[in-house]
Every structure is written in structure tokens, then in C-alpha cells.
A and B are shown apart, each in its own frame.
Chain A
Amino acid sequence: TLKASGPCPACWGATLDLESQRELLLDLAKRRILDKLHLNERPTLSQPVSRTVLKTALQRLHGSPQGATLKDDQEQEYEIISFAETGFSSINNTRLDFHFSDKTTGGMEIQQARLMFFVQLPPNTTQTINVRVLVLRPYDTNLTLTTQHLLEVDASGWHQVLLGPEAQAASSWGHLTLELVPESQEAQSSVILGGVAHRPFVAAQVRAGGKHRVRRR
């Protein structure tokens, strides 16, 4: 803070030695980064993602529109890659759970969310995949089916689905559940792969300060 007159304010005087100055600067840098990321402390990783998975996800996203660009009003934007936790899955049904931390999404608006998943098909076959968006609404204990996306798949590989506003809202609340259901299941194993290199993920574009925006209905 600058005053109209008087000496410049400073964080330290000439009394600090070099090592103390360095410690002070490191502490300042740490606190600055955490503040800007809306974190109270550095995250402790409970389930670290392997470098292989990370590399695959980033390669899949290569060429897609980059979300983290600074706007004129200096709003901070984020692009989040959330890897799925699989549960209650069978050959005919793959359920994917995604968690978004409160500290990351608190007061933020998810602008776009894309699901990316790997499908393995026998040669010369097609498959229709039904992607169901299940939402756990506030003050509710059961998942509610909100929307479905039908995707025609004619080759093995990575596929993506642009999820709608319901999925965006669920992600903003912190939890998104998706079900992937092949419409005609003839194979002996699931066509949707979830191994280390093929783990499904959601790529979301987030804007900070969403809750403060006025919406017109």
C-alpha cells in the first residue's frame, strides 16, 4: 500500500540476514500461490494418478480448445481433469463417479464438461452407448436420472461426449455420477475399458466467481 508521503512500506528492513530474507520470500510465494488457488493448505494426495494416466489424458485433450485463457476482466479460469472412480459396474453397465473438491469448485461455475472414455469393439461392428447422467440433488439421498446421451460408436478408441447443464451443475455441487450402458451387449467382457491407460475422465472448464453472477431467468 502506497501512502501519499513518507517512506515506502517494506516487508523487511536491513536487519534481516540473507537466509531470513530467503525464508520470508519462500513463505510469501507459498502463501500467494495457495491464496490464488483458494486453498488453505497444500493438497494431500490420497490417490495419486500415475504419469501414464496423466500423459494419456493430456494427449487426448491435445488439440481441444484450451480453457485457461485470461479474459479482459482478469477472471481466473480453470481446466480440471477428473479421473473416474468405478463402482457398481458390470458387463452391461459401467458406473463412473467423479469428485470435485469444494475448495476448487466453491464459488465457481462449470462452463463445459466433456466425458472421455475408451471403447473396445470387435472389428467391423458398431455399438450404441447410452451415457446416463445421474445426479444426487441437495437434500436427496437417491440418484436421479436427468439426461441421456446416445453415442454411435463404430471403431475402437477414445470417444467423447459433451455433457449438458445438468452434469455441469452436479459437478459444481461436488459429485457427478455417470452410467455407460451399451445398448446391445454381445461380448463376454465390457466394451468400455477402465484400465490404467484407459481410465475414463471428465475434462471440465471452470470459471471462478460464478456464484456472484446475476442470472436472468
Chain B
Amino acid sequence: FHDYHFGLEENEGISELFDCD
């Protein structure tokens, strides 16, 4: 992914961001 900085932790994904965990 080139130089992109990822902010999510290993155990996080789209579900957590939309409060579905």
C-alpha cells in the first residue's frame, strides 16, 4: 500500500468504525 499510514489496529475493522462490534 505504498506510503499509506494505517490508523486501525490489527483487531479493528469497518464493523467497529460503524459501531457494530
A and B, one complex? no
List residues of B whose CB falls within 8 A of some A CB: none
List residues of A whose CB falls within 8 A of some B CB: none
